[in-house]
Amino acid sequence: MIYASNPSLRLLAVRHYRVILEQNKSNTGALNNLGLLYGTLGLPLAKVTLLKRPAEKKMAMPSANLANIYVESGFYDDAEKLLRDLPDNILRSELILAAQQNLQRAEKENDNKRMP
């Protein structure tokens, strides 16, 4: 993801990850990173589509990233379901714990906005 951190090299990063995915369509790291990269390029649907594939394999990083995207978009139920359905060994991951805290914080803020 080094290329992606430099705005002038983002398109090179896209090419890099697409080449990796041509060689191995299920490379979870490339799917995760390309999804995040598409988000920085203003392509939110492509971002979610790519992150769903490795998240379906119940992996911590893409699952946490997807849950955070759901939370940022206001889809709290989807984030909660995604996190709830993870195996116990993944639920203890720091990334998943942070995503759970992010969800709880967002739900609490949302509840506070509704109260007069």
| Domain ranges (residues) in the chain | 1-55, 58-116
Q: Which of 94, 36, 97 is nearest to 66 (CA)?
A: 36
Matching residue, tokens 């116990």: 88
Q: Decide which of 1.10.287, 1.25.40, 3.40.50, 1.10.3470 is the CATH code for 1-55.
A: 1.25.40
Alpha carbon distance 43, 52 (integer Å): 15
Q: Is 46 in contact with 38 (CB distance < 8 Å)? A: yes
Please identify every stretch of the chain with a pLDDT value under 50, giving residue numbers as ranges.
Answer: none
pLDDT score recorded for residue 73: 92
